[in-house]
Structure 1
Amino acid sequence: MDQDSQDFLKRLFDAAVAAADPLVTLKAHLPKPPKGRTIVIGAGKAAASMAKAVEANWPGPLEGLVITRYGHGLPLEKIKVVEAGHPVPDRQGQEAATEILRLLEGLSEEDLVLCLISGGGSSLLAKPGEGITLAEKKALTQALLASGANITEMNTLRKHLSAIKGGRLAVAAYPAKIVTLMISDVPGDDPAVIASGPTVPDPTTSADARAVLEKYRIDIPPSLDAFLESAAPQTPPASHPAFARAETIMIATPQASLEAAAALAASEGITPVILGDSIEGEARDVAAVMAAIARQVKLHDQPAAKPCVLLSGGETTVTVKSDQGKPGRGGRNCEFLLALALHLGGLSKIHAIACDTDGIDGTEDNAGAIITPDILKQAAAMKLDAKSCLARHDSYSLFAALDCLVRTGPTRTNVNDFRAILIL
């Protein structure tokens, strides 16, 4: 039954990813062609597949450039695809972002800008504000990634140190109409948070950005401090006429992917329970809560009777503390699963999968992993200390040794994490 359970979990993940495939979802949301030019721009892990969908379905001439993560590109005929650094920005992203701004120069009211935005766009649209170096942005990004800050907090700070995010891209396109097609990878599907909201008004302030720095005790150099000091008057106000010419359409969301997985489970006689599409928090803390719910189902058939699968999405975090030594390998999904296994303690007939829908868990080569009820016994038989691996954030090494990793390669979409816990 173990192999059947693992296959079932993988099919749930595949269904969730398929529901967010822009090659399927984007066509229905394309606007009408304009009288003037059509410029396609964008950034994110799904940028290349979104651009491919536009090329396949657009009835008129178009041109443009999109930026995606290394290894996530596709060969296109009319739209240039640039691969750049993620999650830490690099020179390629900076140069491509500058080229995007050049494409928007001199547009008229009769022109249309199609902006394709998905998760990962914040680091890929690497255009630091005046007086800020790319090296400084890199250092800040690395500090934020290690701090445990959630995606909303990270992007609040990124917007206030950028020359292109926080609505500035819409202003650059004005007076052309700009239609942004978005794939959400953030809790709540807030377009101002996805890729740091390059085409929508920014509701946050430089004081909010400073509060993030203070909360996580992150020091910044004088250049960044000076830019934050002057950022408030530079942020485009919601009353700017560019936003009256801007439209945002969500073409894929975490909730839709969870519903696709739930429909598959129900069709196979497994009761689906969607716990939430926007769950945040430390990966190991979320695991403790999920384990408690799974235990309640197993022992008391609450909140649903067995067989049942608990589904959830969102984005957990992993905080690496300076006193923990050099961290091992493993993204937030693998960390969640290892903590979950330890909390379940080998409880029978409970299997789980946790994967990032972009196909990359953190910075490794896997989407996530699958755990079985006997995984701790398997680890002990190989003299692997699960608790020690969790303490060192080294879940990848343990799951690799046990052949539990899920590898998909880049999916070219991203609706964040997908978790499923099957209780039989």
Structure 2
Amino acid sequence: MREKIRNKDVLLSHGDRESRRIVLDITEKTLRRLDAKERIKSIMTLDGDTLRIGIKEWDLSKKKNIYLLGGGKACNHMAMAVDEILGDRLTRGVAIVKIAEDTDVFNKTEVYVGGHPLPNEEGYRASRIMLDIVDRAGPDDLFIVVISGGSSALMSCPIDGISLADEIAVTDVMLKSGANIFEINAIRRHISQMNGGMLAKRIEARGAELIGFGISDAVASPPTGDIGVPYAKYRATPMGPDQTTLDDARRVIRDYDVADKLPKNVVDYLMSAGSERETPKAFPNNTYFLINTLPDSCRYAKEAAEEMGLEAHILTSFLEGEARDVGSVFASIAHEIQSYGNPFKAPCVLLASGEATTKIPDSGVITGHGGPSQEETLSFAIAAQKMKGACLLSIDSEGTDGTTPVAGGITDSQSYAAAQKSGADVYAALRGHAAYEALLKMGDVVFTGNTGTNLCDFNVMYVPKAE
């Protein structure tokens, strides 16, 4: 397996090097353990006509066609695992990914690069191909569907009367509104032919069987247990029952005062849609395997740190809020630890996962590129100047943060001074949501490419003893 963090040498060439080495090593070990390809291959085998997944078996001699459908930011690795195991038994596969890597190898799977966070034409075209495959299927067919976070944008196929341009506008407005992902999805799922269980509903209508592999990036998901045991409470995504309702969508439009910003035809539809337009709420005959959830990243990171002989603590796996505020809070915790030994004594590692957001009420202020993890670490750099050796890494665990090609950033107590020397104006970068350009100039962007997982934001901070 190739290194997950591809620019480690650059990141270790400056700043608080030992602190950086610690957080980078913990992150590398965590991402390796979360890799979806290895997770699926650990529970799925094919022996002749017998397909085994965990504790269940299927006789493939009774299946006419076997299809692989997938979407999400970790779909590359999920689809590769299924494609490799099934080999020539796979009739056809279609996967929609965010980034196509040169290391991706497929046998019978077509790969399309969809848009994220905003949908695009290629994702729409691939979704239409998937729906055509489903509409031609019959009761003797088997669908194996692999879904991770990001599928709502990547698998874009709006209902009749709403265009791709409308769906792009909806996503753009809602991402800048300050709404959380559950609230955003309440709107997106109810205007989609794919999301919110609509793909599964279509498969069910053809009488075909569905086996699903999922990664849950939802805040408040419990940690995984035995991933080889079917998960009865699987929810959301194109292949699972939806928790959001039309009433939720209407409430979000009102609460965030976006009726005048969203396309009029979308608002009119959501406000007038009847119960027959509701998303499906149950699929009792489908079989789901949940291979990772959001708390797993902190759990594995804690184990990695302890194996390195370090005391580690999970602050939260429910982290939400404005990204730059999160960075300041991390710095204040580091200050308390170094000054007074509260809530933990230094040296220690602190871990958190969740989904910080960046509210942009006026797009006119944007002067560059960025994402929540980069804004968080840039904010930390300002506040961490007095905590010698304190270091924070924050990444979007799937490998791309916001509108940038990097996973996130890493900063320490020396970073602000380094920014001044490099000519990077940290305050201006935060005001203009241009953290990427500032961190790139400082040599502090974390580059991973596709990681093979998708568990929202991952944060690790190391706090050494004060000298």
TM-score, structure 2 as length reference: 0.84
- Displacement of 1:302: 2.3
Change (3 A) 1:108 1:349: same
Matched, 1:186 2:215: no
Change (3 A) 1:193 1:383: farther
Query: What is the alpha-carbon distance in structure 2 between the residues aligned to residue 271 and residue 68 of structure 1?
Result: 37
Match of 1:326 among 366, 385, 391: 366
Structure 2, unmatched stretches of 5+, are 1-14, 45-52, 223-230
Q: Which deviations, in whole Å up to 9, do the C-alpha atoms of 1:202-224 show, x marking residues without a partner? A: 23221211222222222333321
Whether the 8 Å CA contact 1:346–1:375 is kept in 2: the answer is: no
Instruction: Give the aligned partner of residue 295 of structure 1.
Output: 335
Letter in 1 for 2:263: P
Matches within 5 A, 1:83-122: 83-122=113-152
Query: What is the alpha-carbon distance in structure 1 between the residues aligned to residue 280 and residue 422 of structure 2?
Result: 59
Matches within 5 A, 1:313-352: 313-322=353-362, 325-352=365-392
Match of 2:256 among 210, 216, 220: 216
- Displacement of 1:186: 2.2
Query: What is the alpha-carbon distance in structure 2 between the residues aligned to residue 383 and residue 87 of structure 1?
Result: 30
Q: Which deviations, in whole Å up to 9, do the C-alpha atoms of 1:156-189 show, x marking residues without a partner? A: 1110111121111111111222121111222123
Change (3 A) 1:231 1:358: farther
Match of 1:399 among 439, 444, 459: 439
Instruction: Give the aligned partner of residue 226 of structure 2.
Output: none
Change (3 A) 1:223 1:303: same
Query: What is the alpha-carbon distance in structure 2 between the residues aligned to residue 116 and residue 367 of structure 1?
Result: 22
The DSSP-based 3-state class of the residue aligned with 1:152 is helix
Instruction: Give the aligned partner of residue 47 of structure 2.
Output: none
Query: What is the alpha-carbon distance in structure 1 between the residues aligned to residue 77 and residue 424 of structure 2?
Result: 40
Query: What is the alpha-carbon distance in structure 1 between the residues aligned to residue 232 and residue 356 of structure 2?
Result: 19
Matched, 1:380 2:437: no
Match of 2:294 among 251, 254, 262: 254
- Displacement of 1:128: 0.2
Query: What is the alpha-carbon distance in structure 1 between the residues aligned to residue 235 and residue 175 of structure 2?
Result: 15
Instruction: Give the aligned partner of residue 321 of structure 2.
Output: 281
Whether the 8 Å CA contact 2:365–2:431 is kept in 1: the answer is: no
Instruction: Give the aligned partner of residue 233 of structure 1.
Output: 276
- Displacement of 1:237: 4.1
Matched, 1:71 2:100: yes
The DSSP-based 3-state class of the residue aligned with 2:252 is helix
Query: What is the alpha-carbon distance in structure 1 between the residues aligned to residue 445 and residue 154 of structure 2?
Result: 27
Query: What is the alpha-carbon distance in structure 2 between the residues aligned to residue 93 and residue 323 of structure 1?
Result: 25
Percent sequence identity over aligned pairs: 31
Query: What is the alpha-carbon distance in structure 2 between the residues aligned to residue 193 and residue 147 of structure 1?
Result: 30
The worse-fitting range, judged by mean Cα deviation, of 158-167 and 223-232 is 223-232
Query: What is the alpha-carbon distance in structure 1 between the residues aligned to residue 184 and residue 20 of structure 2?
Result: 35
The DSSP-based 3-state class of the residue aligned with 2:176 is helix
Letter in 1 for 2:420: A
Query: What is the alpha-carbon distance in structure 2 between the residues aligned to residue 278 and residue 110 of structure 1?
Result: 42
- Displacement of 1:226: 3.3
Matches within 5 A, 1:20-31: 20-30=34-44, 31=53
Query: What is the alpha-carbon distance in structure 2 between the residues aligned to residue 403 and residue 129 of structure 1?
Result: 44
Letter in 1 for 2:68: V
Query: What is the alpha-carbon distance in structure 1 between the residues aligned to residue 365 and residue 154 of structure 2?
Result: 30
Letter in 1 for 2:175: L
Letter in 2 for 1:185: D
Instruction: Give the aligned partner of residue 10 of structure 2.
Output: none
Instruction: Give the aligned partner of residue 69 of structure 2.
Output: 41
Instruction: Give the aligned partner of residue 359 of structure 1.
Output: 399
Whether the 8 Å CA contact 2:219–2:317 is kept in 1: the answer is: yes
Change (3 A) 1:399 1:199: same
- Displacement of 1:59: 7.3
Count of residue pairs the alignment pairs up:
421
Matched, 1:176 2:190: no
Query: What is the alpha-carbon distance in structure 1 between the residues aligned to residue 149 and residue 220 of structure 2?
Result: 13
TM-score, structure 1 as length reference: 0.92
Whether the 8 Å CA contact 1:271–1:304 is kept in 2: the answer is: no
Match of 1:264 among 304, 312, 319: 304
The worse-fitting range, judged by mean Cα deviation, of 222-231 and 135-144 is 222-231
Match of 2:171 among 141, 145, 151: 141
Whether the 8 Å CA contact 1:270–1:308 is kept in 2: the answer is: yes
Query: What is the alpha-carbon distance in structure 2 between the residues aligned to residue 6 and residue 116 of structure 1?
Result: 35
Query: What is the alpha-carbon distance in structure 1 between the residues aligned to residue 404 and residue 235 of structure 2?
Result: 21
Change (3 A) 1:380 1:192: farther
Letter in 2 for 1:158: R
Letter in 1 for 2:212: T
The DSSP-based 3-state class of the residue aligned with 2:336 is helix
Query: What is the alpha-carbon distance in structure 2 between the residues aligned to residue 415 and residue 389 of structure 1?
Result: 26
Whether the 8 Å CA contact 2:39–2:291 is kept in 1: the answer is: yes
- Displacement of 1:193: 12
- Displacement of 1:253: 2.2
Instruction: Give the aligned partner of residue 421 of structure 1.
Output: 461
